[in-house]
Structure 1
Amino acid sequence: MNDQKYHVGQIVQFCGWEVKRGAPSGDHRVERLLPPDSGEHQYRVKAVESGRERVVRESQIGGRVAVETLAQSLYEAENATNVPWSQRGRPIRDLWLKEARSRLADADGVG
């Protein structure tokens, strides 16, 4: 079986069709990697705002694009300072995470 796409500590969101079916919107942090179920990787995630935890399948997460991964890509494409993403503080990272969430919502058709 292939490696899991997401790692502990990564910020992800449910994909748009899951949100439309009742999954919570907003950021979730991957808390734990779980054994596969029916051949699909699973994760224990925790909502950043509410603290509610749940188990999700890999296909339910962020349209298969992690919010943090997209934010990092957007940052690096615009980075004129040559400061790596990993060395940026929360205020800068939060701006790029907000932009990534917006783009993912637009791509998934979630307003």
Structure 2
Amino acid sequence: MSRSELAARQAELLQALLAGGPPPAGFDASRLKVEASVLRRKHGRVLAYQRPELAEALGERFGPLFAEFNAARPKKDTERSGAYADEFVTWLIAGGHLPKPRWGLVSRLRRR
């Protein structure tokens, strides 16, 4: 298999795991769904670790809200985690899940 073919297959797999794309040839669709679910939950835990103030502000709502956000807007493989977290915060505020923050809170919730 050439490098370009391998890269194309890897891209298909990432699309299936991260963005709900179809399973690549040779992969079991049900196993990919399980693995994708595990990866989404893991990403949510990483985001909560990176932004503990956000996880604290949301409490028990963090997991379900992150799952809802991630289902509608999966993280791209080339996207920085910080930028994705910022987008999550924006989504939370727009959806009324967090109050519109004062400037000091914005800087704490949206770190660069």
TM-score by length of 1: 0.31
Structure with a larger share of its residues in strand: 1
State which structure, 1 or 2, has the greater radius of gyration over its C-alpha atoms. Answer: 2
Structure with a larger share of its residues in helix: 2
